[in-house]
Amino acid sequence: MQEGYKKVRSTCHSCIPGCGIIGHIKNGKLVKIEGDLDHPNSRGTLCPKGVATPDMIYQPERLKYPVKRVGYRGEGKWERISWAEALDTIANRLGEIKHNTGAESVVFSTGFHGIAGALDPYLGLFMHKFGSPNRVTNIHICATPVHWGNIYTCGFSTMAGLDFKNSNCIVMWGFDADVSWRGLCRLDIKEALSKGAKLIVVDPVKTGLASKADIWLQIRPGTDCALALSMLNVIINERLYDEQFVREWTFGFDRLKMHVQDYPPEKVEEITWVASAKIKEAARMYARNSPACIGSGAGGLTQNTNSVQTNRAIAMLIAITGNLDVPGGHIDYGVPLKKRATQACQSDAAYDILPGEQREKRLGTDRFALIKDTGLMIAHPTVVWQAILEGKPYPVKGWLAMGGNLITATENAKEVREALMNLEFFAISEYFMTPTAELADIVLPAAHWAERDEVIDAYTKNIVYAHRKLVEPPEECREDKLILIELARRLGIKYFSSVEESLDWRLEAIGITFDQLREKGMIEVPVRYKKHEQYGGFRTGSKKIDLYSESLESLGYEPMPVHHEPPESPVSTPELAKEYPLILITGRKILSYFHGMFRNIPRLQKLAPEPLAEIHPDTANSLGIKDGDWVRIETPRGAIKHKAKIFGGINPKVVATSHGWWYGYENGWKEVNINILTDNRHLDPHIGSSPLKGLLCKVTRIEQEAAGMN
Ligand SMILES: Nc1nc2c(c(=O)[nH]1)N[C@H]1C(S)=C(S)[C@@H](COP(=O)(O)OP(=O)(O)OC[C@H]3O[C@@H](n4cnc5c(=O)[nH]c(N)nc54)[C@H](O)[C@@H]3O)O[C@H]1N2
Ligand SMILES: Nc1nc2c(c(=O)[nH]1)N[C@H]1C(S)=C(S)[C@@H](COP(=O)(O)OP(=O)(O)OC[C@H]3O[C@@H](n4cnc5c(=O)[nH]c(N)nc54)[C@H](O)[C@@H]3O)O[C@H]1N2
Ligand code: SF4
Ligand SMILES: [Mo]
């Protein structure tokens, strides 16, 4: 090997799977990323985002030193400042707000990288010590409704333990895993299909996997709960379930049996637009081909107002067919890092520092009792905007964001922006000047995952990985852990004294240091199955599968899942549907982007250069729209522009878009940002997920000259 050239084995954190990578480093510069053939999930494969890591970290617009705002908020005028000035100012302002109006008046936030890049444990600890219960992330519209719908049913998240590889029947339910969980699922699904596994896809859109499926159920958006209940109806009435498991391990089976009689396939056909024969066929195929594994989407099944109960119904399907904690089904891998696991660190219980009276103040817990019951550290964004804008139930004045692009990622973007504009003090650490960072008082340049060490354990099954730093951060970029350490010191908070100490803290449960983990690369915990048989049951209220949930009932929720119409639909709001006749699903994932990220990387831009709205040819014809035309998409909340993509694989009454568009367009945050159109008034009563999938809209052709864009 040439002098000054080295290869470092590590993991990629540009999205969820944490694929194995080999970084090629020449004279301290990252020159290439290669797939690691020895990695158990990705096995040498990489997606275009992973390959583009050097482009990302050396992108010329990358923030490289701290700046402070000098014009009015959002004007875009900045002045370079030193780290000392930046940190002193942030500590002083946040400390001052805490002193004047209470620690709860300061909100902390992060993006999905809080989980994928393992920032959440550190930010959570910092917040607890600072004394604020309020953390904004978008996990209410991400996987959280799946996890908790599952946990209240069978005590663990079926989604964190997908064993597609050994499955005889794979169900992709509102989950485009070939795109969205590529490094974790793609090879496993391929392997199972090549061995003859059946494939069922439930999706309003003909995805790549839908085109290969044995059965594709082209469902009406937002009606999955009815479909799951109808599949339960077929499986129960035809006695296709695992009778011994049901007898020994379920609670409330007879009541469920009665309940699902309300959902015969013939009736559910009208609700879901899926033919009753197909519902029966899918139910039978799933029940007769065990072990079977259902991938529940953290988009298709969480971004609606019945998300938690829909995921409960799906967990029931998994349970009564005997697919829990078995190879080829859904394995309860546990969390090797216990309280310090990234997922565990989403809840107060991981820290147990914040006094009860502060936890009581978490914004949104009055409205969403499940958030309170679980101790989840989610302050609901909508309630937070109200606190900023109206001072109710108390004022929110200060904000520290570590990444996250709230303006393009969160429902009702206009309100998000209005709220952030009205903060007294807002600081953010970022890689780039995003539409959210643009509104800050101070912007700090964050070190990229390739420029820091990390302990990685979210969605990694039974393995904890050492993520090794590949290169040093450029110029003045600093990692978020270090920023928190420096702020804690200034605020007089007892926190870590070094990054090394913070990494070791996460590993306490397995009794090794980060240096030792770095040496080994990974730690694999042995997998055991059917643990309920050895440990006296499941981690639920009844210690059995809570088909009927007394825990949820005592919180005022329905004890068994019920189909509720989406808040905007041809059925629930027929008058509105006259003006907005199409159903809009937003945020289908694009392989080359991660939410709003990578938009400024030319080699990725080329793969998906424009914001597209998928429209059926018949619908397009009737609206005079041709492929490639700019169209105006409008909902009662606003209008934006996208380009039409004529696509036969979508229901004529449905329009589908991606999300996260902003870069490269003037006022991109309002011209092409789909979250201008989304709703934050109708929310799931459990966790507050919003109907990003399944709104009403209208689409019209824009005179191409008037589009003002190219
Ligand atoms: N309409 C609609 N909206 C959606 C969705 C949808 O399907 N439809 N999907 C939702 C989902 S599932 C999610 S999870 C959210 C995602 O919401 P976000 O995570 O807020 O979205 P991103 O655009 O990925 O923003 C992350 C930002 O953090 C920065 N960043 C990345 N890593 C780091 C880091 O280590 N440190 C620091 N300081 N900054 C970093 C990036 O530069 C980027 O600008 O979006 C949601 N929004
Ligand atoms: N490349 C890339 N990968 C990503 C991300 C990214 O931004 N880019 N984001 C990551 C994150 S944080 C998350 S949470 C995951 C989310 O990824 P997924 O869980 O796959 O979610 P989505 O892509 O939002 O939607 C999945 C599918 O649901 C379908 N769908 C829409 N509405 C409905 C409905 O009402 N019912 C049903 N059954 N299906 C519906 C959509 O057409 C889509 O094909 O992806 C992760 N992976
Ligand atoms: S799928 Fe792509 S971006 Fe995601 S972890 Fe793997 S290589 Fe990285
Ligand atoms: Mo997500």
Please report how many Cα atoms fall inside a 13 Å half-sphere around the Cα of residue 76, on the Cβ side. 4
Summarize pLDDT for 553-597 with one digit per residue, the tens: 999 999 999 999 999 999 999 999 999 999 999 999 999 999 999
Is 574-701 CATH 1.10.357.10?
no
In the chain, which residues fall in CATH 3.40.50.740? 67-140+335-453+471-489
The answer for residues whose C-beta is within 8 angstroms of residue 91's C-beta and 6 or more apart is: 487, 490, 491
Instruction: Give CATH for domain 5-51.
Output: 2.20.25.90
Pocket test for ligand 1, best of 112, 126, 176, 692 (most atoms within 8 A of CB): 112
- Separation of alpha carbons 603 and 51, rounded Å: 10
Say yes or no to pLDDT of 1 above 70: no
Q: Quick check: CB of 297 below 6 Å from ligand 2?
A: yes
Pocket test for ligand 2, best of 692, 693, 696 (most atoms within 8 A of CB): 693
- Separation of alpha carbons 448 and 13, rounded Å: 9
Question: Tokens 């989407």 correspond to what residue?
Answer: 297
Q: Is the peptide bond before 145 cis (omega within 30 degrees of 0)?
A: no
Task: Calculate what percentage of the chain has a pLDDT beyond 90.
Answer: 98
Pick 157-332's CATH classification: 3.40.50.1110, 3.40.228.10, 3.30.830.10, 3.40.50.150: 3.40.228.10
Q: Quick check: CB of 409 below 6 Å from ligand 1?
A: yes
- Separation of alpha carbons 160 and 156, rounded Å: 8
Q: What is the rounded average pLDDT of the residues 613-631?
A: 98
Summarize pLDDT for 426-440 with one digit per residue, the tens: 999 999 999 999 999
Q: What is the rounded average pLDDT of the residues 329-355?
A: 95
In the chain, which residues fall in CATH 2.20.25.90? 5-51
Q: How many helices (H) and strands (E) does the chain have?
A: 28, 25
DSSP state of 610: S
In the chain, which residues fall in CATH 2.40.40.20? 574-701
In the chain, which residues fall in CATH 3.40.228.10? 157-332
Instruction: State the closest ligand 3 atom to the C-alpha of 45, by its place in the atom list counted from 1.
Output: 7
Q: What is the rounded average pLDDT of the residues 116-122?
A: 96
Is 67-140+335-453+471-489 CATH 3.40.50.970?
no
CA of 83 to the centre of ligand 4 (A): 32
Summarize pLDDT for 458-509 with one digit per residue, the tens: 999 999 999 999 999 999 999 999 999 999 999 999 999 999 999 999 999 9
Q: Is the peptide bond before 393 cis (omega within 30 degrees of 0)?
A: yes
Q: Quote the pTM value.
A: 0.97
Average pLDDT, the chain: 97
Q: What is the 3-state secondary structure (H, E, C) of 80-115?
A: ECCHHHHHHHHHHHHHHHHHHHCHHHEEEEECCHHH
